[in-house]
């Protein structure tokens, strides 16, 4: 058995909410399924739960199975907690969370839920700000393409030590191979922080981190700067290459 597959975990980081997931849950949600049909066929009958939507019925549209209020996606009940978690990952205060939500999503009483979420939060702290031991947490990002080459940058959160690895591609398989090499030399990290790049949120990568007992954290949606340690390392690396060139 490969040494990188020895450890197991019960933790699971849910994949980001996709348009496909929203469309699927919209047709399964009893209220939104009815609202969707009313938008398409006309509002001939109304039920109590439809009221918040009927009040906005002139502004509601449908696209690829999703309901839109203006430019905001109406989130089905089953996915609302996950969206709240994503909004809270970049918690900079209730005002900014509401502003972020207003740019992308809506459902009845979302403002009230965000206020309750903010009240229950001990502070706007990111879960990866507490690395106190070597190799406990690493931040990853890609520097590519750069001077006809691609690189994967990993930063040790505790010491700020950087590992820069040339890669032929930025696929999940290539990323996993880099991590296996790093883990073989330094040990398996407790946490890996990345952006929401396709190679990091793929099921293959998720399966890899789960099988090794690693908690995978992604930067807050629409706020890639919350993975600023890796982002800064990429900029430092590029500047160094420019100077050498």
Q: How confident is the model at residue 23 (pLDDT cuts 50, 70, 90)?
A: very high
Residue 144 has pLDDT above 90, yes or no: no
**Domains in the chain, number:** 2
pLDDT for residue 220 = 55
Average pLDDT on 185-195 reads 88
| Per-residue pLDDT tens digits for 85-99 | 888 875 567 888 888
Question: Is position 170 within any domain?
Answer: yes
Whether residue 74 sits in one domain with residue 154: no
pLDDT for residue 132 = 73
Whether residue 166 sits in one domain with residue 61: no
Which is higher by pLDDT, 148 or 124? 148
Sign of the CA dihedral 23, 25, 26, 28? Answer: positive
Whether residue 96 sits in one domain with residue 59: yes
pLDDT for residue 100 = 83
| Per-residue pLDDT tens digits for 209-229 | 999 999 888 865 444 444 555
Alpha helices in the chain (DSSP H): 19-28, 30-41, 51-54, 77-89, 94-104, 110-120, 172-186, 198-201, 203-211, 228-244
Whether residue 159 sits in one domain with residue 67: no
Residue 192 has pLDDT above 50, yes or no: yes
pLDDT for residue 36 = 95
Give residue 93's domain range.
Answer: 19-120
Distance, in Å, from the CA atom of 104 to the CA atom of 108, rounded to the nearest integer, reads 14
Question: Is position 4 within any domain?
Answer: no
- Where is the domain boundary, 68, 90, 120? 120
pLDDT for residue 232 = 66
pLDDT for residue 13 = 45
Question: Is position 3 within any domain?
Answer: no
> Residue 93: left if φ>0, alpha if ψ -120 to 50, beta else—which one?
left
Average pLDDT on 8-22 reads 62
- Where is the domain boundary, 101, 120, 139? 120
CATH assignment at residue 81: 1.10.340
Give first-to-last CA distance, the chain, whole Å. 43
Residue 6: name the closest of 179, 209, 211, 190 by CA.
Answer: 211
């Amino acid at each position: 058995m490969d040494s990188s597959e020895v450890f197991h975990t019960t933790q699971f980081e849910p994949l980001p909410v996709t348009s496909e997931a929203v469309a699927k849950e919209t047709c399964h949600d009893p209220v939104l399924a009815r609202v969707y049909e009313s938008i398409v066929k006309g509002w001939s009958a109304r039920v109590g739960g439809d009221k918040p939507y009927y009040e906005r019925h002139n502004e509601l549209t449908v696209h690829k199975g999703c309901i839109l209020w203006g430019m905001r996606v109406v989130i089905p009940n089953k996915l609302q907690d996950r969206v709240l978690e994503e909004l809270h990952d970049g918690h900079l205060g209730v005002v900014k969370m509401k502003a972020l939500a207003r740019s992308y999503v809506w459902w009845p009483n979302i403002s009230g839920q965000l206020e309750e979420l903010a009240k229950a939060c001990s502070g706007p702290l990111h879960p990866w700000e507490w690395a106190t031991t070597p190799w406990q947490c690493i931040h990853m990002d890609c520097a590519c393409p750069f001077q006809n080459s691609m690189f994967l940058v990993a930063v040790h959160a505790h010491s700020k030590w950087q590992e820069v690895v040339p890669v032929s591609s930025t696929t999940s398989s290539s990323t996993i191979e880099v991590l296996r090499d790093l883990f073989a030399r330094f040990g398996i990290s407790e946490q890996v922080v990345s952006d929401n790049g396709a190679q990091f949120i793929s099921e293959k990568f998720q399966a890899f981190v789960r099988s090794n007992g690693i908690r995978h954290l992604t930067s807050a949606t629409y706020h890639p700067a919350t993975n600023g340690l890796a982002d800064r390392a990429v900029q430092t690396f590029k500047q160094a290459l420019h100077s050498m060139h």
